[in-house]
Chain A
């Protein structure tokens, strides 16, 4: 147990270091960054803001990690957020209960996953093309549901998922941490994690070993759809409305970035959901930091790009092998003494 903890720390070290460095940079540019206060039974502060604002990307990254582990990718998650936001808003506006609305929305998310999974697992379409279909069509579907307008609502039950709080923490933070924990337990306490990794590394050999590859692929796309629908509920509840054009826009790219920054390979195989979640927080910390530092907003995307590139370069195989080489030489020198 202790050795596996050590292995985990070793695996996540680059991500944790990156997160700490980003937070320190934030602290330098705006010294009040670490201030946390309690108001109205809820924590406030930049740090809490990072956790809160990062919720949609964190949720997407959970599903995306598993999809990428099977050597796939899910480009449709941003559009699924829009669809599910629209479904939630129109359901609550037409007078349905909160429970009914949430269950309906999550079911729609699952259905989107089934569609992607069908294209990938049964029809054997390349994941990037298969999910591109829903990415493009999804916003159209969302617009049809909202009939082209921004659907607003004012139901306290539903907005609770966006701005409510539980145990001092904002509801979105509670949600992504809970979903993350559940999924981590699901894949690591069962054999799912190992089977997903096997399929991602060598699909044919996995099938020959008796793994039901299509079922597994279907499952990961469904989970990705489910995560996106939860994110959709949070986004809609947060702005108390469904914006078919902008809800979840480009978030699929942030989610993929979070997975990669989390140290997972786009080539599939070994994965770490915890890594992806830290990756999502790194991205959000960068976003929040740039906003609170008072840089002119036109620099934001450039600064973000530079920081991400630095993190990715540090993680790149070339630099890693260089580091291993350097540490070996160090070790060799010590031995020769």
Chain B
């Protein structure tokens, strides 16, 4: 994906989508400390925010926003009251809104999965 096509830099776009001020994060790391999925992630949540602060587009290629389960542990822990899950969603939405889905429905065996699993997964991982 090519952000420069739409003449917006990454930081501004994530802020716009999430409604959050990413610069208020002072990298205390509490979000990463409380996140239950860091073992599966390539970047820690606070590192992802750092990249967004620098406008580093490589954050769009990391696994972290897609492992995020929107559990909101980071949100209740953040001392600045930042909506960290919203920032993660902003990063996800950049790809999704460019018509690049994270999951391909027709490649998955979804039989027997409860409705709630399908609805929530497709909500977060398809555009």
Please determine whether chains A and B interact with each other in the same assembly.
Answer: no
